[in-house]
Amino acid sequence: MNQPIERLLVLYTGGTIGMQQSAAGLMPASGFEARLRAQQALETGPLPSWSFRELQPLLDSANMQPSHWLQMATAVREAVAQGDCDAVLLLHGTDTLAYSAAALSFLLLDLEIPVLLTGAMLPAGSPGSDAWPNLFGSMRALQAGRVEGVRLFFNGVLLHGARVSKLRSDAFDAFAEAPRKRSAAAASEHPPMLLPQQPAQVVILPLYPGVGAAQVQALVASGAQALLLECYGSGTGPADDAPFIEALRQAHRQGVVLAAISQCPGGHVDFGVYATGSGLRDAGLVSGGGMTREAALGKLFALLTAGLNQAQVEHWFCRDICGEMAD
């Protein structure tokens, strides 16, 4: 258990938790600090001392992009460097909350303070909203020293930032750690500090009957530095499609990182089970084991933006560095 915190930074990025009604529908709104302090006055029991910062522009998290992951990571690092906090609570919309939690798990890998993300399915102030329970529950989890690394707090449950997925869109228990096999070997050497140095473009390609070389070639031509294939089952795909396999081989020769995860909600990649899996492995794909889409995307992005080359990215992608692949 970590030490209880004394100085908390609440970093508000937008999302449903602070939205207010507009003519076009619910939209992120400024002024949430005053609403939060007014509500805290009604809470019973101790809460940590906190400061507040809005990250501009405030976003509906459906508009969140990888550049915003970097913006959030930079804001956290700057606050820590200035000595402003010993923990961060990041308020975020739910649509891409799991993606941001995963990305920050890698972008803040070296950070010693806890970072906790939360949001709400209904705006604060709406009848029966989960906003205040999620927000003050997060503060109490941090205050009690229960949070280590990057985590997500939702509906009373503390979840691993690099394992969580949004599984429901209409219930308060919308988030859970996907039930995936996590048995990858932990890294024997210390992972690198993943400080952003260059742009990175990671593209996801779900496999489906009919996918072929044209899709791979188009994504590579778009500038993809990594191609994350969501494979069938244990990491299989159309290995008897010679043009498709050759397109993968050509992409790999061009320096594109080829990575694989399972598209099954509870799946994991084991290329050796089927010949169609080993065919993908032989084309240059590396296994993401039981990583979720969110974790694999965030991990590839963090590795590439840190300036690692193809071989280095492949090396670290296959190894557990923060609990994303191993229990």
Task: Read off the amino acid at residue 89.
Answer: L
Active site residue 96: no
Active site residue 94: yes
- Hunting for tokens 């240059």 — which residue is that? 284
Which ranges of the chain would DSSP assign to H, the alpha helix?
A: 32-40, 66-81, 97-107, 131-143, 213-221, 242-253, 275-282, 293-305, 310-317
**Among residues 13, 44, 74, 94, which one is catalytic?**
94
Phi–psi pair at 154, nearest 5 degrees:
-155, 130
Cα 59 to chain centroid distance, Å, stands at: 17
Give the separation between CA 112 and CA 88, rounded to whole angstroms: 11
Q: Could you give the 3-state DSSP secondary structure of residue 244?
A: helix
- The token pair at 237 is 């795909």
Q: Which residues contact 260 (CB under 8 A, 6 or more apart)?
A: 228, 229, 231, 235, 269, 271, 280, 285, 286, 287, 288
**Among residues 13, 16, 118, 236, which one is catalytic?**
16
- Between CA 86 and CA 8, with CA 53 as vertex, the angle to 5 degrees is 20
Phi–psi pair at 75, nearest 5 degrees:
-60, -40
Q: Which residues contact 223 (CB under 8 A, 6 or more apart)?
A: 201
Give the separation between CA 90 and CA 119, rounded to whole angstroms: 8
> Which residues are marked as active site?
16, 94
